[in-house]
Amino acid sequence: MKDSYAQIVNSSVGKKVAGALGLPQPVELRRYAPGQDLLNDRKVLVVGGQSADGLAETLLDWNLEVRRHPESRTRYGAIIADFTDAATPADLQNGALAVGAALRSLGTCGRVIVLGRSTDHEDDESSPELVATQKAVEGFMRSLAHEMRKGSTCNLLKLAPELGPEHESVQGPLKFLLSARSAYISGQPLSVDPAKPHTVEADAPVDGKVAVVTGAARGIGEAIVRRLHDDGAELILVDVPAAGEALSKVANSVNGVALQLDITQKDAGSKIAETARKHFGHLDIVIHNAGITRDKMLANMDENKWGSVLAVNLASQLAMNRQLLDSGALGPNPRVVSLASTSGIAGNRGQTNYGASKAGIIGMVSAMAVDFAQAGGTVNAVAPGFIETEMTKAMPTVTREVARRLNSLQQGGKPEDVAQAVGFLASNAAAGINGQTLRVCGQSMVGA
């Protein structure tokens, strides 16, 4: 869907008018293309103490030019601030101000990555000073993300206590957040735990994996299918029989297997497992994308509108996950990714049923993280914000324009942005991320 406003304000005349009137000036985001450089500019500023030395060496191995102190007249593609050693509030000042001194040198669609510590492990006996300090790091990141300009983003990786910034488990998430694959993700924290080392090909991160995508016939589901296909996966595409023609068309275009299936059937997970065994022998990746909306104010909500949304969006996923775990069809490192929504985080008027179902997904991935870890895998969720789809195209013009601008990047995301996040969490690069929900919303002003 075309964003006419963004096109106008990016013209030579439009820039002047928008600047004079103080109007939003969204920048065209740099999005992923095969073979592209990791960053627009290979110069990276790494701020931090001795703990960042190993990270600097890793970045050099990625063919990046590393600076350890801000330099005048230097354009940076990224700034990485290491606060993993910060234990008291006083430990934050030097690093924060060093980032501030370099911000004006950050290039268009640049990246700021903040590294901190996770302090919520069950066996963690962190002091109140450490917990407060590391929570302050998160607050610093979220606020700084609101200050980003020119299409740049800012995100946080919270490392488990035993992980150094250079650890192999950190490299996959760090590379994703630095890359153009994360174009519409900003202001978001991700916790990283130790994981079994995996080799991941940058342009084919799920090469040779077998994936199933529900709700695959159109929209975000189709975008996920095409992303996983381009990234090397073999595919099973699932949708309801009523979408059979569209489903077959998409499946044929990616040499995939089309499975017409109502996911609310009690044995839907078993049928998916059976199909995977028949065609591929096993299943590595499960993407729960299928969902419906039946919007009404709660005072006007009936049993069908409530029950159908909870059945499709939430209960079906719980049942399928259990059946897939019990089926024996899952590979040795299964990855499950569910589509949640910012409506499940912040709520939305007229969507008590939908908001409940999407909040339930966030709870589900958190609760089932142990089950999938025991199976050698992970389960996570992606929560999109305003994404340019046929559904948002049908919104009233003024409502749509306001929704587009209510985020730090001042524009709507694309289905491809959601697909990139799903693809990352489905890959072995995200092996250290489990039970979490990643928002793809440009740091929406709505919700946490």
DSSP string across 69-137: S--TT--EEEEEEE-TT--SGGGGHHHHHHHHHHGGGEEEEEEEEEEEE----TT----HHHHHHHHHH
Size of the chain, expressed as the number of residues it contains: 448
Q: What separation in angstroms does the CA of 294 have from each of 92, 213, 220?
A: 47, 22, 18
Backbone angles phi, psi at 101, to 5 degrees: -65, -20
Across-strand partners of 47? 81
Residue among 28, 39, 32, 38 at smallest CA distance from 5: 28
Q: Judging by beta carbons within 10 Å of its beta carbon (0-12, 13-18, 19+), is residue 350 exposed, middle or buried?
A: middle
Q: What separation in angstroms does the CA of 207 have from each of 227, 267, 332, 434, 448?
A: 12, 29, 15, 21, 35
Taking each helix axis from N to C end, the angle separating 352-367 and 316-327, rounded to the nearest 10 degrees, works out to 20
Q: Tokens in use for 8?
A: 């106008």
> In 3-state terms, what secondary structure has residue 355?
helix
Residue with tokens 């275009």: 253
Residue among 336, 418, 349 at smallest CA distance from 383: 418
Which residues, other chains included, contact 180 with Cβ-Cβ below 8 Å and sequence gap of 6+?
Answer: 29, 30, 31, 32, 33, 36, 109
Q: Do 371 and 310 form a contact (C-beta atoms < 8 A)?
A: no
Which residues are catalytically annotated? Answer: 354
Query: Number of helices and strands (H, E) in the chain?
Result: 17, 13
